[in-house]
Structure 1
């Protein structure tokens, strides 16, 4: 067995990524790795865009290095995670294969617009702002928390304690808006603003915490809980879990017919139990949705689930 990388020793972003991927595999080794794929739905296959049927594949883009949602396995090249298994199940229902591409988070929607990819499954929060550019198929509930260095040296208990500190985040993340709102609240209270440092990938975010360049990371709870568990105490999750926007599969705005196929395919795998089995495999069973929700491009704000304000919770408003 390959020995895990110790977080106490200097690691590069690449070695850290390998450690995260390996840990995710080890964490699920006792679970069934091969979940039976659902049967093809001939009617849905016929509704796929002709070019996609001819190609025989759905081109999926994601942000690998975000376990347990999506990451590369021990070999550094095999896609793993909930997003990967779900995409494969949706492809099986539609009667085509899926192929995966890794990209930075802020390049996902432009890549869809340019038709380099057919859909993005990347733990992307479905919001009205993003929905002005893409169709969304909502597929998973979400919450957000804070990740800090082990021992919590800055004594961070929640968003309200970030004043004067440096927060690491991904470029293009919706959580950056939350941190900007926190910073504004800090200034209103006569405190120092929050400094936001953004990175291209999750491994760089974790590395910034390990090396002390940043003090906290605020984002989806599931990957933070995962990386904290495998970090041997070098990282930890603190504070409450704040309500957050659910995740959506993003599909180009001018590809509405394909979005309808994916929404119908998601309903199929929800009803036949494949969806819950995949969630359970990756320890995400409590984040299931009851049915697929399609929000076409340009849908009004009322079409998107609106969680309670994390700012209001943190600052008592």
Structure 2
């Protein structure tokens, strides 16, 4: 059989076999896309600003920057799509996706077992929680135990809230618990500390490293990183086809080094995962 006739026969066989033909084409991440997403030509990505170096914009600018932004754009490009970003308050992230208003969440969003009831996660970033404060507190607040009885400003609706509350119960006396208050953004947390309404806040290790890099000698870390966990790209449970396409795109980026290149762009190489895991969190 000639080469041309053989190729034609393979193509006809793939069409006839339906799903098997798609699996053969699965070497291309774009081939795994749901028809609706492919037809739309864009990947709707929900973020919650601002959390440098993951997602942020410069003062006076609406241009989105950060590791998550660059990685989302690169994933979309691998899928033959354009990334379209929507910014919402953190508590609105899950409703945004489960109602179909967005395709996925990609915004320093922790993979948690309780969230897996509604979402599938692709774990792509290793992190840990740290307390931090402004340098003027460094003499009086040296360890986590020094935060007992103090006010901690924490991002609304995040896993940091329960982490702080649990740590308070195990570290502090019943009459001297940490007062955990929920406020949306990092900038507001810092304002609360500077105004004396809070004494510390919580951030992912990557966020604190960036903050100390941008403003040397202004902030410091309290205690060691805790609750080592993973940020995940989150999709609605029923969106498994898109999940698999995104996962395939990430794997090609890890293979050719572009995943690590984007991490290095923001000084985050130590946050790289050895492999991309679906729903890796067990707690």
- So what's the TM-score if we normalise by structure 1? 0.76
Q: How far apart are 1:146 and its partner, in Å?
A: 1.2
Mapped to 1, the partners of 2:249 and 2:32 lie a distance apart of 11
- Provide TM-score, normalisation by structure 2: 0.85
Report how many residues are paired: 258
Correspondence 1:51 to 2:39? no
Q: Any conservation in 1 of the 2:55–2:65 contact (CA below 8 Å)?
A: yes
Q: Distance in 2 between matches of 1:127 and 1:61?
A: 18
Change in 2 beyond 3 A, CA 1:270/1:177: same
Match of 1:238 in 2: 222
User: Residue 98 of structure 2 is aligned with which of 97, 108, 113?
Assistant: 113
Structure 1 residue 75, shift from structure 2 partner: 4.5
Please show how residues 59-70 of structure 1 align to structure 2 within 5 Å: 59-70=44-55
8 Å contact from structure 2 (residues 113, 282) kept in 1:
no
The reply to whether residue 175 of structure 1 matches residue 160 of structure 2 is yes
Matched, 1:288 2:265: no
What stretches of structure 1 of length at least 5 have no aligned partner? 1-40, 296-302, 307-317
Equivalences for residues 119-268 of structure 1 within 5 A: 119-153=104-138, 155-186=140-171, 189-268=173-252
Alpha-carbon separation, structure 1, partners of 2:139 and 2:235: 40
- Shifted more, 59-68 versus 145-154: the winner is 145-154
CA gap 1:120/1:260 in 2 versus in 1, 3 angstroms: same
Equivalence for 1:270: 254
SS at match of 2:137: coil
Return closer, same or farther for 1:225/1:191 CA change in 2, 3 Å cut-off.
Answer: farther
CA displacement at 1:127 relative to structure 2: 1.2
| CA contact 2:138–2:220 (8 Å) conserved in 1 | no
- Answer yes or no: is the 8 Å Cα contact 1:87–1:98 preserved in 2: yes
1:191 CA drift (Å): 4.1
- How many Å separate the matches in 1 of 2:38 and 2:169? 50
> Deviations along 1:95-131, whole A, 9 cap, x unmatched?
1010111111111011101111111111111110111
Does the aligned pair in 2 maintain the 1:225–1:237 contact within 8 Å?
Answer: no
* Cα RMSD after superposing both structures: 1.9
Greater percentage in helix:
2
Matched with 1:304 is 281
Q: C-alpha separation between the residues in 1 aligned to 2:163 and 2:119? A: 22
Task: Work out the CA distance in 1 between the residues paired with 2:139 and 2:237.
Answer: 43
Q: Which runs of 5+ in 2 are unaligned?
A: 1-25
User: CA separation of 1:71/1:87 partners in 2, compared to 1, >3 Å: closer, same or farther?
Assistant: same
Deviation at 1:272, TM superposition (A): 0.7
Conserved 8 A contact 1:138-1:292: yes
Matched position secondary structure for 1:147: strand
Secondary structure of 2:136's match? Answer: coil
Secondary structure of the equivalent of 2:166? helix
Alpha-carbon contact 1:141-1:288 (below 8 Å) kept? yes
CA contact (8 A) 1:169 1:176 kept: yes
Check the 8 A contact 1:128/1:304 in 2, yes or no: yes
